[in-house]
Structure 1
Amino acid sequence: MWESGCPAHSFTGPAAEGKQQSTSSSREAEERNMETSQPRSSERMSADLSELLKEATKEVHEQAENTPFMRNFQKGQVSLQEFKLVTASLYFIYSALEEEIERNKNNPVYAPVYFPAELHRKAALEEDLKYFYGRNWREEIPCPEATQKYVERLHYIGKNEPELLVAHAYTRYLGDLSGGQVLKKIAQKALQLPSTGEGLAFFTFDGVSNATKFKQLYRSRMNALEMDLATKKRVMEEAKKAFLLNIRVFEALQELVSKGQENGHPVQPKADLLRTRNINKSHEHGPAAGKEGERTKMRNTDTTPTTSLMRWIVALSFLAMTVAVGLFAM
């Protein structure tokens, strides 16, 4: 079932620039200290939240990683329409996640891992959607019921159980940072996207100069969160729930594309079935004139039917989901 749109919520934006600058020196100092620190004992590591999350999601991660569908995607078997549908769902998910992060940025259960300049993806996804759908992208993108349920879960925990927010932030952001470059290269080649990066802003982390060091910093901040064992167990369960929510989203996208294939025509995002509300009335004025022709061509050519479409959407879905929750690459 497809809803007319995901719930609209305001977004207050990243922290003030002055605050980000004031914390940059301390973050660099933390990174230097971690590089020279001695390895912790296995006894201490067993209590670290990052290790607990990794272990808790090991089984489902391995199942996704070993699926043949991912291997198909790695061969470049992905259509533009599939890629656009995934990007649209990610926009709704990250909009909700980042709204709740802003709500809890000063809450001690989340504040230590608040990195808006380095990690937030909403603005990048807006840029990609404008490229793929044009200036009226907000009225065109679909929001399946599974995506809406994911959004509702994020808003619920942000308001009622903010200590669980770290599970979603960790599994999404560090997964994107770990596997995003691989997926970016595959999509750019398979979809013949511009070498200048249009349509791939989601995978570009301009605020992170060294992904390995930043992930070490993030894990150390997360492991330092004050949580008792019972709370850590709840966070672990929430991480597994995040995995399941991702799977359901991509199953819904698979169903959409396969139905279009059965009907003998490609999926169109404009039909009544996919109609979405205007999430934000303050539309921007649209893409630059010099790029409009290219974007129009992009939107027109994505209606060409693809071979084995059902198999490809699952390939894309599982790889995207694995990238997003790529705990073992962290």
Structure 2
Amino acid sequence: MALSSALREATMAVHERAHHSTYMAALLDGRLPLEAYTLLAEQYLGVYGALEAKATELADHPAAGPFVIDELRRMPALVADVEALGGSVSAPRLLPETEVYVERLRAADAPRFVAHHYTRYLGDLAGGQIIGTLLARTYGVTGAGALFYDFSALGSPSRFRARYRALLDSAPWDEIEQRRVCDEAVRAFELNIALLDGMAATTRAAA
């Protein structure tokens, strides 16, 4: 099975669970103050800071290097967003769940890096766009504050996704390494679910 198909199959169940986040439901319904989104953006500073530092580290790796795509990098946008929203860039308020996520990213080797890269960026290109629309409609946030969701530098999202699937399917990994990528992708979803559960508890999204 092609790696792109294996990843989709392996993560199907956990992907569905991720869609039922209490925090995201409350945010999408406009039941949380903008500060609750600011806190999420600060969590992303930790997550993407670690992911993109790992990308720089692996830029010359024969298998992982092709996934280091400068137009995908989110840190410049996140810094601008957090500053515009009044959060802290120098000392983001990372939740314990986020700290666990960050440590996992820092320890990733090439197959695990690609697994996290896949789950984060393709998720941002898909469901993340809904949040960008929500920020404008419900909270009046456009431009700085919502730049994280602007992927216009990539051109056509559908063409980019096809390009990305081709990168996955051409990665020079054997069956064992491909299984490691799939297993880590499931782990990445679990870490993201834990982060969102922590956000729900912190922001009292279930109240």
In structure 1, the residue matched to 2:191 is 245
Quote the Cα distance in structure 1 between the aligned partners of 2:100 and 2:106.
10
Q: TM-score, normalised by structure 2?
A: 0.92
Unaligned runs of 5+ in 1: 1-46, 259-309, 313-330
In structure 2, the residue matched to 1:75 is 29
Structure 1 counterpart of 2:113, which letter?
L
Answer whether contact 2:21 2:193 (CA < 8 A) is retained.
no
In structure 1, the residue matched to 2:72 is 119
**Alignment CA distance shift 1:163-1:132 (3 Å):** same
Q: Deviations over 1:241-269 (max 9, x none)?
A: 101111111222222223xxxxxxxxxxx
**Alignment CA distance shift 1:252-1:66 (3 Å):** closer
In structure 2, the residue matched to 1:222 is 168
In structure 1, the residue matched to 2:59 is 105
Q: Deviations over 1:33-85 (max 9, x none)?
A: xxxxxxxxxxxxxx111111111111122233356775554433332111011
Give the fraction of aligned pairs with identical amino acids, expressed as a percent: 31
The alignment's C-alpha RMSD in Å is 1.9
Asked whether 1:177 is paired with 2:128, we answer no
How many residues are aligned here? 207
Answer whether contact 1:133 1:140 (CA < 8 A) is retained.
no
Structure 1 counterpart of 2:124, which letter?
D
Quote the Cα distance in structure 2 between the aligned partners of 1:120 and 1:226.
24
Higher helix proportion: 2
Asked whether 1:198 is paired with 2:144, we answer yes
Cα distance, 1:188 vs structure 2: 1.6
Asked whether 1:153 is paired with 2:101, we answer no
**Alignment CA distance shift 1:246-1:188 (3 Å):** same
In structure 1, the residue matched to 2:110 is 162
Q: Secondary structure at the match of 1:169?
A: helix
Q: Deviations over 1:77-110 (max 9, x none)?
A: 3321110111000111000000001100110120
Of structures 1 and 2, the larger Rg is shown by 1
Structure 2 counterpart of 1:224, which letter?
S
**Among 48, 53, 66, which residue is 2:2 paired with?**
48
Q: Secondary structure at the match of 1:193?
A: coil
Asked whether 1:131 is paired with 2:84, we answer yes
Q: TM-score, normalised by structure 1?
A: 0.59
